[in-house]
Amino acid sequence: MTDELSHLIGLMDMAKVSAKVRRRNKERVNQGLCLCCDKAPWRRGLCIAHYAAFLRKRNSLSKLSRGKFLLECERKGLVLAPRESEQIRSKDPFKEIA
């Protein structure tokens, strides 16, 4: 198998996993649960403690490995993509009152 081909298959796998993961993440955040524990989510589907841990790890990486790290986290459902967390937040029913 060529590198290019296995890269493509990797991308396809990624897309497959994320539909399932995305559904599960949306459910958790809508229920007011962090993706990694049962505390309230703060940013990107994570509670303050897990978001801090996520940032700490991300900031320790080189620019090159950061993209890979982010993709891997999103694929595993450990963090929401920025756009996704925006979509979930925009469904806040309290926003429309007063």
User: Does the footprint of Zn ion cover residue 21 (CB under 5 A)?
Assistant: no
CA dist., res. 22 & res. 57, Å (int):
22
x-marked contacts with Zn ion along 22-51 as a string, rule CB under 5 A: ------------x-xx-x-------x--x-
Distance in Å, CB of 15 to Zn ion, minimum: 26
Distance in Å, CB of 59 to Zn ion, minimum: 18
3-state secondary structure of 38: coil
Q: How far is CA 92 from CA 78, 82, 96, in A?
A: 22, 16, 8
Q: Which is nearer to Zn ion, 56 or 95 (CB)?
A: 56
- Look up residue 46 and give its DSSP letter: B
